[in-house]
Structure 1
């Protein structure tokens, strides 16, 4: 009976020892075998690994691409227009041995803090360099600036065993204390542009109005000219008709002119004339006898 217990205890001990000496690494991980804090083996390929039980430990790290959001920082471009920049980076553990030696037992949390300490100074340095204005940061050229930040950060991150895969400027805003002044300046610029547009519109309207007035004057002048020509031609025809009538019957022509003169002179209800009764003006009113005697 005691032998059976001893056999079972031995089997359990063997199972425990074997289980303690085996570890599994999947495709998303990298593993280090540590003995009293010293690196004894590196396991980067997925599969089974072995260690000395109870003496060696296994530390696993994520081998995938990781991300970090930096704390928003204030930068001052070359045009002295301060901006608040919020960036993020993607990185991965490139050398797990260097990574362990650099961060120790702090793991990924410690690596993220140290990487942020690398990124923020590079963001300030690149965005505050000569030739970089706030308009450049806010334009499509910001991708070029992000690449420069990544390249500079990569050099320093290599000392941590990290590879910086990408850096992006997520948000770029104005400081709160500058918003009112910026909005006021933008409003003034828009009002100035509106005033310029109104002035150009008024100028164009004035040109159209002047052209229309000129066209009206030309049309009226042309119409007046044509009417004067027509009136002159009508007067000429009338005078020619009078002349023809006078040539054919002088007595009738004088009679017609006298009637026309009577009509014009005696027109209206309050016309007054001071004239002698035997005046030649009334020749045709006095009858043929008086007219004939006046003619003699």
Structure 2
């Protein structure tokens, strides 16, 4: 009987020995629980020991975990509803606090809690900005704000929210047509404003150009009148000098100018008295035409 008893005792001792040892790899963290109370925290990889039967070992993933939210409708500051999808990267940093927060539910309960925290953070952040900011290409500041807010809320679970990304921000199908119409109306209004400002600027340019043209024309006319007056004065001086030297030749020259002006066209008509001075030189010029030699001689004598 001693042999079988010793063998049974040995088997029991081996089983108890094996049951008192557990292994934690580099991807895990472990808690040793005794009647639900934490007795030991094992965060480093290697062998751990516990009391057989009395103690239990609970292991948690030490890697960065992902969480994808369900499509969520949010209302930005301008009351345009948007459908938003997001995903988060999170990690367990305090296994004791994590155990106290989620109990025996483990990571699944934690995901549900983090999902609610993330949805609340998305609604709070996106509800404080216009939809144009949410729909823009650069949403990094918004995502950082959501991450920071979710991180503060999730710290009570013993987890760290490492990153949050918005994967989709679209308009609901039933709102697309109305939203596009409003966007088109806004763009048309902006275009009308731009055209009005352009027309105003063009009007200012035209007014400035017209004023400049009037000023330049007025200055040119002024200078022309001055030059013309100086020329007339000089011409009158020449005429006066010529008149002083030979009054008869001066009168004859003025008569020739008068004839040239009065006979410019074929239909010129002149009404005057028969004894007018006009006919004195006219008869003289006619005599030049009838007797060229005599007329020239008479002109030279006069």
Tell me if TM exceeds 0.5. yes
Q: Which residue of 1 aligns with 2:90?
A: 90
Cα shift readout 1:195-232 (whole Å, capped 9, x = no counterpart): 22221121111111111111111111111111112112
Contact map agreement 1:75 1:84 (CA 8 A) in 2:
yes
Aligned pair in 2 of structure 1 residues 118, 244: CA closer, same or farther (>3 Å)? closer
Moved more, 230-239 or 178-187: 178-187
Cα distance in 2, alignment partners of residues 245 and 216 from structure 1? 42
Q: State the secondary structure of the residue aligned to 2:178.
A: helix
Structure 2 CA distance for partners of 1:280 and 1:54, relative to 1, 3 Å: closer
Shift of 1:78: 6.0
For each residue in 1:30-72, what CA deviation from the matched residue of structure 2 results, as whole angstroms up to 9, or x when unmatched? Answer: 235679x967964504322346789987543222343322223
- 2:262 alignment counterpart: 265
1:164 to 147, 160, 169: 160
- Do the aligned residues in 2 keep the contact of 1:122 with 1:152 (CA within 8 Å)? no
User: Within 2, Cα distance between the matches of 1:95 and 1:127?
Assistant: 29
1:215 to 193, 212, 221: 212
The 1:52–1:242 alpha-carbon spacing in structure 2 relative to 1, beyond 3 Å, is closer
Q: After superposition, where does 1:188-203 map in structure 2 within 5 Å?
A: 188-203=185-200
Task: Show the counterpart of 1:30.
Answer: 29
- Post-superposition offset of 1:282: 2.3
Which residue, out of 41, 44, 51, partners 2:42? 44
1:238 to 210, 235, 239: 235
Measure, in 2, the Cα distance between the counterparts of 1:194 and 1:40.
Answer: 68
Q: 2:143–2:166: 8 Å Cα contact kept in structure 1?
A: no
Q: CA RMSD in A?
A: 4.3
Return 5+ residue gaps in structure 1 as ranges.
Answer: 4-9, 289-296
Question: 1:76, 1:127 within 8 Å by CA — same for their partners in 2?
Answer: no
Does the Cα contact within 8 Å between 1:23 and 1:49 map onto a contact in 2? yes
Contact 1:103 1:111 (8 Å CA) reproduced? no
Question: Mean Cα displacement is larger for which, 26-35 or 14-23?
Answer: 14-23
For the structure 1 residues 241 and 33, does the alpha-carbon distance in structure 2 shift closer, same or farther, using more than 3 Å as the test?
closer
The number of equivalent residue pairs is 274
Distance 1:100 1:64, change over 3 A: farther
Describe the shift of the 1:168–1:12 C-alpha distance in structure 2 as closer, same or farther (beyond 3 A).
Answer: same
For residue 100 of structure 1, report the CA deviation from its aligned partner: 8.3
Q: 1:187 aligns with which of 184, 187, 203?
A: 184
Contact 1:77 1:134 in 2 (8 A): yes
More displaced stretch, 257-266 vs 52-61: 52-61
Seen in structure 2, the aligned counterparts of structure 1 residues 248 and 190 have a Cα distance that, compared at 3 Å, is same
Q: Work out the CA distance in 2 between the residues paired with 1:137 and 1:245.
A: 91
Deviation at 1:170, TM superposition (A): 2.4
Superposed CA deviations along residues 3-23 of structure 1, whole A, max 9, x for unmatched, are: 9xxxxxx99999888666543
CA distance in 1, matches of 2:200, 2:132: 36
Structure 2 partner of 1:6: none
Q: Secondary structure at the match of 1:283?
A: helix
- Name the residue aligned to 1:99: 99
Quote the offset at 1:85 in angstroms: 3.5
Match for residue 293 of structure 1? Answer: none
Find the aligned partners of 1:97 and 1:216 in 2 and give their Cα distance.
Answer: 85
